[in-house]
Amino acid sequence: MRKSILLLLSVASFSLLGYHQAFAQPTSNNNKVDDPVSKLGYEKKLRWADGLFKDGSYFNAVDYYGQLMQEQPRNPYLAYQLAKSHSYLRDYKSAAKYYGYAYELAREIYILLPYTKKP
């Protein structure tokens, strides 16, 4: 009796593990093959990211601003938008990094940036 219960429990646990793996989401988020926006040009992708930011979808905006930063790594606007998005997501460490980078790239434009308050 005891062996049959142990056998039943082990079979049930392995079957649940297989069930969980079958319906789990893929672990690699960096694969944007099926994302139609990632195939757009720079200007359209920038408008898309700005629209997401304006609508309050900061997590998605961070993703697209990051893609744009790979294309133009020395763009202060992108660094600033990434910083604002991270601060709205309460990821202050990343926000500080991008605020500093935006200030480093364009001190004249973001002259008051070191004195801004956190949201």
pLDDT single digits (tens) 47-65: 999 999 999 999 999 999 9
Which region holds residue 91: left if phi is over 0, alpha if psi is between -120 and 50, else beta? beta
- Find the domain containing 69 and state its range: 35-119
Q: What is the pLDDT of residue 34?
A: 72
Mean local confidence (pLDDT), 74-98:
94
User: How many percent of the chain have pLDDT more than 90?
Assistant: 48
Task: Tell whether 61 is covered by a domain.
Answer: yes
Report the domain count for the chain.
Answer: 1
Of 81 and 16, the structure prediction assigns the larger pLDDT to: 81
For 1-30, letters b (16+ CB in 10 Å) and e give eeeeeeeeeeeeeeeeeeeeeeeeeeeeee
Task: Tell whether 58 is covered by a domain.
Answer: yes
Q: How deeply is 77 buried, as exposed, middle or buried, from its count of CB atoms within 10 A (0-12, 13-18, 19+)?
A: middle
Max mean pLDDT among 23-27, 28-32, 48-52 falls in 48-52
Task: Kindly tell me if the per-residue pLDDT of 14 is higher than 60.
Answer: yes
Instruction: Please report, for the domain that includes residue 119, its CATH number.
Output: 1.25.40.10
Q: What is the pLDDT of residue 103?
A: 86
